[in-house]
């Protein structure tokens, strides 16, 4: 691998998606389940062959700057040498140990490390494979501990597509065709201030108050239809639905309601954890500590591993072997997670996220001033986004958002597909090792793309 790869600016030699990407897509079209790619809609995904740092190279040798971290996974960048070396070393020794019957050194070390970095009373960790699996296990634990079955989730929330996780997820398209799901779930309003669920005349601070008042009503009113809430499951910043940052009083307000009503507060930090927002955990911005914490994407720099963390008291509610899985606490995943955490600490990536994130958000706000289709800009740390609208009525500009994403790709910048509930949000979450030059280049291309979308 070219050692310079990781910090380079884009180089596009073939208009993407190129011929090799198209040929590979034919294989997906013929042999893969159609739910795993957009091919059914006529789109051709660009195939990657190599990635390092903030760079991706596709199978047609185009070189890109990745402003997604592969969907918020690559906190320390793609293929960080320390993580690659840790996986290699562990693979030479042992690739698998059955989690329910055999411990291993990397598992022991990871459990100790997580206990060091989470605030008390959080202490014990259940090491799993995916975010959805960790959500499922956390919600099972909440039911076991509280001996209650109901779960309050939130409008706009996304937690995965497994059983419990999909039941908590609000998006209709993911739930359609597979109902009924796990019983006992209901959804409360989340303060999406740009599109407040209580109406356009409500200000941002009032939106949070309205949501909290309504949630308290749902919990306490004997005629609300809610009987026995075990847990509230919430993202501290909603990810899938458009990088929606709540007002500062919202999470503390939920914590207070939970404390007063014997409800567990469960935070989904699958996207926001491990430095993404300029704190190691996003809940630190809001001065709350959850009863159950779930992390996944950023844990191991690209290796599939997830964590469900809770307290001694809550974790001790489990019976022996009440929840196990074959690949829990996989030695390779634990080694990768340890190396990723070491990288985050040694390279001060949390501090870097906070510092670069301020400039990132500032630049996006400048784009908002310059472009009529940018209706809202929001974010924390290196989790920043822009919502595009076509008029003063905030009509979602889905077509223009798609144009921006496509223009950016053709000029060497990888953005997520149009996001948010109306497919009109540019969601950006670069690797925390991205250079200032790369980020500046990416924002200049987005500026050009917005101009192009406004004219076409």
Same domain, 326 and 394: no
Task: State the CB neighbour count (10 A cutoff) for residue 14.
Answer: 14
CATH number at residue 432: 3.90.1150.10
Encoding tokens for residue 163? 């059983």
pLDDT of residue 217: 96
Residue 69 resides in a domain: no
Same domain, 53 and 110: no
Same domain, 260 and 402: no
Residue 68 resides in a domain: no
**Has residue 205 got a pLDDT over 80?**
no
Please state the domain count of the chain: 3
Same domain, 340 and 308: yes
Q: What is the rounded average pLDDT of the residues 415-425?
A: 96
Same domain, 336 and 421: no
Residue 99 resides in a domain: yes
| Summary mean pLDDT of the chain | 96
Same domain, 175 and 320: yes
Same domain, 342 and 436: no
Q: Yes or no: say if 372 and 397 are a contact pair by the CB < 8 Å rule.
A: no
**Has residue 1 got a pLDDT over 80?**
no
Residue 181 belongs to what domain range? 81-346
**Has residue 2 got a pLDDT over 60?**
no
Q: What is the rounded average pLDDT of the residues 109-135?
A: 97
pLDDT of residue 3: 56
Same domain, 341 and 365: no
Q: What is the rounded average pLDDT of the residues 38-57?
A: 94
Residue-wise pLDDT for 321-359, tens only, equals 999 999 999 999 999 999 999 999 999 999 999 999 999
**Has residue 417 got a pLDDT over 70?**
yes
Residue 75 resides in a domain: no
Residue 57 resides in a domain: yes
Query: How far are the Cα atoms of 32, 320, 345 from residue 331, in angstroms, in the given order?
Result: 29, 21, 21
Same domain, 266 and 405: no
Domain final residue pick, 346, 362, 380: 346
Same domain, 336 and 199: yes
pLDDT of residue 150: 97
Domain final residue pick, 346, 362, 377: 346
Residues 6+ apart with CB under 8 A from 332: 87, 90, 91, 95, 96, 303
- What share of the chain has pLDDT > 70, as a percent? 99
Residue 73 resides in a domain: no
Which strands form 383-388's sheet, in the order they lie side by side? Answer: 374-380, 383-388, 425-428
pLDDT of residue 109: 98
- What share of the chain has pLDDT > 90, as a percent? 95
Residue 71 resides in a domain: no
Q: What is the rounded average pLDDT of the residues 143-155?
A: 97
What backbone phi and psi angles, to 5 degrees, belong to 363?
A: -65, -40
Residue-wise pLDDT for 51-101, tens only, equals 999 999 999 999 999 999 999 999 999 999 999 999 999 999 999 999 889
Residue 95 resides in a domain: yes
**Has residue 204 got a pLDDT over 80?**
no
CATH number at residue 197: 3.40.640.10
Q: What is the rounded average pLDDT of the residues 109-117?
A: 98
Domain final residue pick, 33, 63, 93: 63
Same domain, 123 and 168: yes
Q: What is the rounded average pLDDT of the residues 287-314?
A: 97
Same domain, 157 and 273: yes
């Amino acid at each position: 691998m070219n050692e310079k790869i990781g910090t380079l600016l884009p180089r596009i030699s073939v208009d993407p998606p190129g011929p090799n990407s198209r040929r590979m897509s034919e294989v997906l079209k013929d042999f893969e389940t159609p739910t795993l790619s957009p091919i059914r809609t006529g789109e051709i995904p660009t195939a990657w062959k190599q990635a390092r740092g903030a760079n991706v190279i596709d199978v047609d040798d185009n070189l890109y700057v990745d402003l997604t971290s592969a969907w918020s996974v690559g906190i320390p960048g793609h293929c960080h040498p320390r993580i690659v070396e840790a996986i290699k070393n562990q693979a030479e020794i042992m690739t698998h140990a059955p989690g329910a019957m055999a411990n291993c050194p990397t598992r022991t070390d990871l459990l100790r490390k997580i206990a060091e970095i989470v605030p008390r009373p959080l202490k014990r960790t259940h090491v799993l494979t995916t975010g959805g699996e960790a959500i499922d296990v956390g919600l099972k634990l909440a039911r076991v501990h509280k001996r209650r079955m109901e779960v309050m989730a939130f409008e706009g929330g996304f937690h995965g597509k497994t059983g419990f996780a999909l039941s908590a997820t609000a998006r209709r398209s993911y739930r359609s065709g597979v109902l009924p799901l796990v019983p006992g779930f209901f959804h409360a309003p989340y303060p999406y201030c740009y599109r407040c669920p209580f109406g356009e005349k409500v200000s941002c601070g009032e939106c949070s108050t309205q949501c909290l008042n309504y949630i308290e009503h749902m919990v306490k009113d004997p005629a609300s239809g809610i009987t026995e809430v075990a847990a509230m499951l919430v993202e501290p910043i909603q990810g899938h639905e458009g990088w929606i940052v709540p007002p500062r009083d919202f999470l503390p307000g939920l914590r207070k309601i939970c404390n007063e009503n014997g409800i567990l507060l469960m935070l989904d930090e699958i996207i926001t954890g491990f430095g993404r927002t300029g704190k190691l955990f996003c809940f630190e911005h809001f001065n709350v500590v959850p009863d159950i914490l779930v992390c996944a994407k950023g844990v191991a720099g690209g290796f599939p591993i997830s964590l469900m963390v809770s307290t001694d008291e809550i974790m001790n509610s489990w019976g022996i072997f009440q929840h196990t899985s074959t690949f829990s606490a996989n030695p390779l995943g634990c080694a990768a997670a340890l190396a990723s955490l070491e990288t985050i600490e040694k390279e001060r990536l949390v501090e870097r996220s906070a510092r670069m994130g301020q400039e990132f958000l500032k630049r996006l706000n400048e784009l908002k001033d310059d472009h009529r289709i940018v209706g809202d800009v929001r974010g924390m740390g290196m989790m920043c986004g822009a919502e595009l609208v076509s008029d003063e009525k905030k009509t979602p500009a889905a077509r223009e958002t798609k144009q921006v994403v496509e223009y950016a790709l053709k000029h060497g910048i990888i953005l997520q597909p149009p996001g948010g509930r109306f497919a009109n949000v540019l969601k950006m979450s670069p690797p925390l090792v991205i250079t200032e030059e790369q980020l500046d280049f990416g924002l200049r291309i987005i500026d050009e793309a917005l101009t192009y979308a406004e004219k076409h």
